[in-house]
């Protein structure tokens, strides 16, 4: 999911399983910068030093993820004993100065099981922007085991993410305070606190990572992927992009249309929308998901939330959030559940239908003055681990979004837009509307209003839209297919819930994707799966 506002889809495939493990927790306006160059280099996308294209990768057993990647334990071997291997690849910091400073990108792979029928490498990007592919792919590699038959499964931490020169902003204590503060100010005092916090956060980012900030945008990440393709020894890039990874894939196809192999884009970002349109679309998308959740709850006799109709359940949720604004409730340890954290927790649980039961439980417990579960859900989306450390997904998300998007919103422009956001979603409208200011005062000017993903001459790209997707609304799939161009974008619809389709439980979707990636069978554009 690409966002300028607060909620971020980090590692789409991870959401449901990680959050299910948290249930036990419930028991306890500025300009375009100060003259810093834009993130978009004017150099040719193929400008890469020859010694980098021919570099040899030193693959070794993977260590445990770093704090910036989300911490945890070293990945276990896959079924059959295949180990996860990690390495680093050198790339130019600035493709406009290809002989200048280089940085290292962290990589991970698992080798194909059928070496005689191996097609090549299948490169994954799990979204965000800001998700660590090195941490995410091993955590959910078994979900792609069928594809591992003929592909080496490969992912990476994009520049600015995790171990790839990860952007650093605020420390853990400052982030705790930042996420607890009111993200939907209602008066002049709260507005000042909101703006002051934003300025402080951006200042920390510039102080800690200022040299890298101009170069973390999507265009450079796409160039990195083409260098990765070359270093891996593949003539074509075979690619699986999820959420923001679909935008990255579209930009790659535009820059390198003749290098596109078999590519799948799942949970598609609308490339025709600017930052404000995207945020408004998300407000509508999350509202749709909340509508579906509350309708399901109202229809069940065992639902813990009061209300015999969906609107009654939503009114009750709105009342609960108003109570939390006036008086937070105990959360986890010394931390309380605030209105903003509760809204984040609700959004987090709407990414997958599998986590609807946790949302129901968390709301019920918060009403009983136990905010632990909703706070744990919010922590998951905010990148906070149980040891109190934050990964760098939030910092990377801001840095990449602001390197890409030209739009900068003043306080007055943001407040003027709020009525439209509230109309789109009574629950999430203010929350997402205030997020328009995320890049205000950022020290790097953005590269575009919207990305160019036109890719005439590219191989077919399978584009999958989910009708119930809250984070990347369904309309984005058609827009991406259209923008890729006739004969390139192939649209497939999944009538389901949650963010993404391939791991949504539809045999139809999996067969279509596997058939294309493994056998080159392109489904008919317009195919619909339930």
pLDDT of residue 50: 66
CB 10 within 8 A of CB 382: no
CA–CA distance, 454 with 207 (Å, rounded to integer): 37
| pLDDT, average across residues 216-221 | 98
Distance CA 406, CA 399 (A): 13
Q: What pLDDT, on a 0 to 100 scale, did the predictor assign at position 42?
A: 36
> Are 469 and 500 part of one and the same domain?
yes
Mean pLDDT to the nearest integer, 305-312: 96
Domain identity same for 263 and 199: no
Q: Are residues 322 and 367 in the same domain?
A: yes
More confident residue, 10 or 350: 350
269 and 304 co-located in one domain: no
Q: Are residues 491 and 398 in the same domain?
A: no
Whole domain around residue 250: which residue ranges? 60-167+213-273+450-528
pLDDT for 43:
40
pLDDT at 33 over 60: no
Q: Is residue 488 part of a domain?
A: yes
Same domain, 201 and 149: no
**Active-site choice (41, 243, 438, 506):** 243
Q: How high does pLDDT run on average in the chain?
A: 91
Together in a domain, 348 and 293:
yes
Question: Last residue of some domain: 436, 469, 487?
Answer: 436
Say whether 469 is catalytic: yes
Please report whether residue 27 resides in a domain. Answer: no
Inform me whether the pLDDT recorded for 18 exceeds 70: no
> How many residues comprise the chain?
530
Count how many domains the chain has. Answer: 2
Q: Is the Cβ–Cβ distance between 434 and 185 less than 8 Å?
A: yes
User: Of the candidates 436, 461, 478, which is a domain's last residue?
Assistant: 436
119-154 core/surface letters (b: 16 or more CB in 10 A; e: else) = bbbbbbbbbbbbbbbbbbbbbbbeebeebbebbbbb
Which SS3 state, helix, strand or coil, does residue 336 take?
strand
Residue 54 zone, left/alpha/beta (φ > 0; ψ -120 to 50; rest): alpha
Judgement on whether residues 314 and 193 belong to the same structural domain of the protein: yes
The stretch 235-257 carries a mean pLDDT of 98
Top-confidence residue, 36 or 458: 458
pLDDT by residue (tens digit) across 193-208? Answer: 999 999 999 999 999 9
Domain assignment present for 182? yes
Does residue 176 register a pLDDT over 80? yes
Confidence label for 49 from pLDDT (cuts 50, 70 and 90):
low
Would the pTM of this model clear 0.75, i.e. be above it? yes
- Which of 43-52, 381-390, 510-519 is least confident? 43-52
| The one catalytic residue among 393, 425, 499, 506 | 499
pLDDT at 51: 84
Residue 506 annotated in active site: no
14 in a structural domain: no
Q: Which residue has the tokens 């579209």?
A: 250
Specify if 193 maps to a domain: yes
**137 neighbors 254 (Cβ within 8 angstroms):** no
Q: Are residues 249 and 295 in the same domain?
A: no
Q: What pLDDT is recorded for position 41?
A: 39
Q: Catalytic pick from 182, 391, 404, 469?
A: 469
Label residue 497 by pLDDT band (50, 70, 90). very high
| Inside any domain, residue 402 | yes
In a domain, 24, yes or no: no
| Residue range 284-291: mean pLDDT, rounded | 96
Q: What is the dihedral of CA 256, 261, 266, 267, to 10 degrees?
A: 10
Who's near 447: CB < 8 A, 6+ residues apart?
38, 39, 40, 217, 218, 219, 403, 404, 405, 406
pLDDT at residue 47, rounded to an integer? 52
9, pLDDT greater than 60: no
Average pLDDT over residues 494-510: 95
Q: Assign residue 502 the CATH number of its domain.
A: 3.40.50.1820
Same domain, 65 and 129: yes
**Given 436, 464, 488, which residue is the final one in a domain?**
436
Q: Are residues 311 and 343 in the same domain?
A: yes
* Mean pLDDT across 251-274: 98
Contacts of 61 (CB under 8 A, 6+ apart): 74, 83, 84, 85, 86
Per residue in 354-373, pLDDT (tens digit) is 999 999 999 999 999 999 99
Residue 386 is assigned to a structural domain of this protein? yes
pLDDT of residue 12: 33
Same domain for 176 and 239, yes or no, is: no
**pLDDT of 305 over the 70 cut:** yes
pLDDT reading at 164 higher than 80: yes
């Amino acid at each position: 999911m690409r966002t300028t506002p607060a909620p971020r889809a980090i590692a789409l495939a991870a959401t449901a399983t990680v959050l299910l493990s948290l249930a036990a927790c419930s028991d306890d306006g500025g300009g375009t910068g100060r003259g810093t160059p834009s993130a978009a280099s004017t150099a040719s996308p193929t400008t890469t030093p020859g010694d980098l294209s021919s570099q040899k990768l030193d693959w070794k057993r993977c260590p445990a993820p770093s704090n910036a990647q989300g911490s945890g334990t070293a990945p276990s071997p896959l079924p059959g004993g295949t180990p996860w291997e990690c390495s680093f690849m050198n790339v130019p910091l600035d493709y406009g100065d290809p002989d200048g400073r280089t940085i290292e990108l962290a990589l991970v792979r698992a080798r194909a099981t059928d070496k005689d029928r191996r097609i090549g490498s299948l490169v994954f990007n799990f979204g965000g922007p800001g998700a660590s592919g090195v941490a995410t792919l091993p955590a959910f590699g078994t979900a792609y085991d069928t594809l591992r038959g003929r592909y080496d499964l490969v992912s990476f931490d994009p520049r600015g993410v995790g171990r790839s020169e990860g952007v650093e902003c605020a420390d853990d204590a400052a982030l705790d305070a930042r996420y607890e503060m009111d993200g939907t100010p209602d008066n002049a005092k709260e507005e000042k606190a909101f703006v002051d916090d934003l300025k402080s956060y951006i200042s920390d980012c510039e102080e800690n990572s200022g040299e890298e900030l101009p170069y973390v945008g999507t265009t450079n990440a796409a160039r990195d992927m083409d260098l990765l393709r070359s270093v891996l020894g593949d003539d074509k890039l075979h690619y699986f992009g999820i959420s923001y990874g679909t935008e990255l894939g579209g930009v790659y196809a535009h820059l390198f249309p003749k290098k596109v192999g078999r590519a799948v884009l799942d949970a598609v970002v609308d490339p025709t929308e600017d930052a404000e349109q995207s945020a408004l679309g998300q407000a509508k998308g999350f509202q749709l998901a909340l509508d579906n959740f509350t309708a399901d709850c109202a229809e069940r006799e065992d639902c813990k939330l009061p209300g015999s109709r969906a609107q009654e359940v939503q009114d009750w949720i709105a009342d609960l959030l108003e109570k939390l604004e006036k008086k937070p409730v105990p959360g986890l340890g010394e931390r309380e559940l605030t209105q903003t954290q509760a809204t984040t927790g609700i959004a987090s649980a709407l990414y997958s239908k599998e986590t609807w039961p946790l949302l129901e439980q968390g709301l019920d417990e918060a009403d009983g003055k136990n905010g632990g579960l909703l706070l744990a859900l919010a922590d998951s989306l905010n990148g906070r681990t149980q040891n109190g450390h934050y990964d760098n997904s939030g910092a990377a998300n801001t840095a990449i979004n602001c390197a890409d998007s030209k739009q900068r919103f003043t306080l007055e422009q943001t407040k003027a837009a709020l009525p439209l956001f509230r109309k789109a979603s009574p629950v999430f409208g203010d929350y997402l509307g205030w997020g328009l200011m995320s890049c205000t005062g950022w020290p790097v000017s953005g590269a575009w209003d919207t990305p160019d993903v036109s890719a005439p001459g590219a191989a077919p790209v399978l584009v999958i839209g989910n009708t119930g997707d809250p984070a990347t609304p369904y309309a984005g799939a058609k827009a991406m297919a259209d923008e890729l161009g006739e004969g390139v974008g192939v649209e497939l619809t999944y009538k389901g819930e949650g963010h993404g389709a391939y791991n949504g439980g539809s045999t139809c979707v999996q067969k279509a994707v596997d058939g294309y990636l493994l056998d080159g069978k392109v489904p008919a554009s317009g195919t619909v799966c339930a």
